[in-house]
A = this chain, B = another copy of it.
Amino acid sequence: MAPPPPSEQPDAAAPGAGAISRVLIVMAMEKEATPLVNKFKLVEAPASESILLRHQNELSKLYRLSAGVHSARFTTRFPKGAPWTRFYGCYKDLHLDLVMPGKDAVFGVDSVGTVSAALVTYASIQASKPDLIINAGTAGGFKAKGASIKDIFLASDVAFHDRRIPIPVFDMYGIGARKTFAAPNILKELNFKVGKLSTGDSLDMCSEDEEAILSNDATIKDMEGAAVAYVADMFSTPAIFVKAVTDIVDGDKPTAEEFLNNLISVTAALDVAVTKMVDFICGKRISDL
Question: Please, how many angstroms separate the alpha-carbon atoms of A111 and B69 in the complex?
Answer: 39
Question: Please, how many angstroms separate the alpha-carbon atoms of A33 and B60 in the complex?
Answer: 36
Q: A112 with B201: in contact, given A69-B65, A119-B118, A234-B81 (CB under 8 Å)?
A: no
What 0/1 readout, one digit per residue, does chain A (187-204) give for beta carbons within 8 Å of chain B?
A: 000000000000011111
Q: Count copies of this chain in the complex.
A: 2
Chain B residues near A184 (CB-CB < 8 A): none
Number of interface residues of A (CB under 8 A): 63
Query: Judging by beta carbons under 8 Å apart, are B206 and A206 in contact?
Result: yes
A98 to chain B, nearest CB (A): 21
- The 8 Å CB contact of A202, one of B105, B123, B174, B234, is B174
Q: A79 with B201: in contact, given A166-B256, A174-B113 (CB under 8 Å)?
A: no
Is A167 close to B, CB under 8 A? yes
Question: Please, how many angstroms separate the alpha-carbon atoms of A173 and B169 in the complex?
Answer: 31
Chain B, residue nearest A255 (CB):
B166
Chain B, residue nearest A108 (CB):
B169
Query: Judging by beta carbons under 8 Å apart, are B208 and A173 in contact?
Result: no
Q: Would you list 8 pairs from A and B whose C-beta atoms are within 8 A, ordered by A residue?
A: A80-B235, A109-B170, A112-B170, A115-B227, A163-B201, A165-B203, A166-B204, A206-B206
